[in-house]
Amino acid sequence: MTPALHQKVERLLERFDGANVVVWGDVMLDEYWWGSVERISPEAPVPVVSVEKQGLKLGGAANVALNIKSLGGTARIVGVMGDDRAADGLTRLLGEHGLATDGLVPIAGRPTTVKTRIVAHHQQVVRADRETTEEIRGKHSDRVFAAYCAAMENAAGVIISDYGKGVVNGPLLAKVIDWARGHKRFVVVDPKDTHFFSYRQVTTLTPNHHEAGFVAGRRLRDNAAVRSVGFELLERLKAESLLITLGERGMALFEPPSKMTLIPTVADQVFDVTGAGDTVSATVAMCLAAGGSMLEAAYTANIAAGQVIREIGTAQTSSSAIRQAIAAIPEPVFSSS
């Protein structure tokens, strides 16, 4: 008898411990100011937030790495940072979470990406970004690639975490993918539209429906549109699979030549989708590192994403939390409509 999907996922979760994954991409620092609003400013029609507490969280590729660690794996981050105060905060926070910083290349004069979010009454009021999107070149690109090659020696694969902040560029992207394919490592891509059609022949991509619709020039309002766009992108990219996240509708997994699997959402509460894409790409990578299929990886990632969107700000889940969630739901029945 073929084991049920939940049994297969349980076995995957048991193999998460120690799985080694590299995260290459845009590392960020997320700054949060939490407070309350009791009045509107007399200077402009905007709320006045009385700040009650502040905090820092890992963002971008750093949050992907933290998701891997939370799931029981080992993550090596490869990217860049500035030589500023934010870089000090970033390295300190990475150290507190037990994440190595030797794969981060410091660049003098380049700001460390910081996103400051002001949150009041569980809602984001405004976000301020301090960053540059200038692509790294020359010696900086060479140093990042050298760090990537060193990190990949003992890794099962790589997650490309592209937020459009300059670490991922055309020539370096091609070298990163070619190295992984040549050494039989998987490549999971959390894509940005700028480079979308450069992510060719990868193991899988995990765009959300807005990103997939934008690059295809269509809105994914129904399953027919999802199906059409999904197979079009799969063919153009020559990828082994494509996983489009559909928000409250769940996910759609595309595998060649013509297989689409719709995975319904398991989330019952949505407070903040910040970082949900990081959780999806991290969970997919962990499942692949543990020897799982793309269907098993997509299903597990769908459950993991349902865990983190219940919290404000970037969040992570664990293999034990996924295991508990699986125990509370029935075996899935997938649709291919």
Would you state the pLDDT for residue 311? 55
In a domain, 126, yes or no: no
Domain presence at residue 33? no
Q: How far apart are CA 332 and CA 322, in angstroms?
A: 15
Q: With beta carbons less than 8 A apart as the criterion, state whether 105 and 165 touch.
A: no
191 lies in some domain = yes
What pLDDT does residue 314 have? 54
Q: What local confidence, expressed as pLDDT, does residue 264 receive?
A: 86
Which residues share a beta bridge with 189?
160, 205
**Which one-letter amino acid corresponds to residue 188?**
V
Would you say residue 218 has pLDDT above 60? yes
pLDDT in tens, 297-331: 999 999 998 876 555 555 678 888 889 888 888 88
Average pLDDT over the chain reads 91
Alpha helices in 53-132 (DSSP H): 61-70, 85-96
Does residue 76 sit within a domain?
Answer: yes
Residue 230 has pLDDT above 90, yes or no: yes
Q: What is the pTM of this model?
A: 0.92
Tell whether 48 is covered by a domain.
no
CATH code for the domain in which residue 221 is found = 3.40.1190.20
Helices and strands counted in the chain (H then E):
10, 13
Chain mean position to CA 70: 14
* pLDDT attached to residue 100: 95
pLDDT above 90: percentage of residues in the chain = 80
Say how far apart CA 197 and CA 136 lie, in whole Å: 20
Query: Does a structural domain hold residue 159?
Result: yes
pLDDT band at 273 (very low <50, low <70, confident <90, very high): very low
* Nearest-angstrom CA–CA distance, 176 and 190: 14
Total of domains in the chain = 1
Q: Judge residue 5's burial from the number of C-beta atoms within 10 Å of its C-beta, 0-12 exposed, 13-18 middle, 19 or more buried.
A: middle
Residues catalogued as catalytic: 278
The answer to whether residue 50 sits within a structural domain is no
Q: Is residue 118 within 8 Å of 35, Cβ to Cβ? A: yes
d(CA 27, CA 112): 8
267 located within any domain? yes
Range of the domain at 71: 5-28+59-111+133-327
For 8-39, the pLDDT digits (tens) are 999 999 999 989 999 999 999 999 999 999 99
pLDDT classification of 86: cutoffs 50, 70, 90: very high
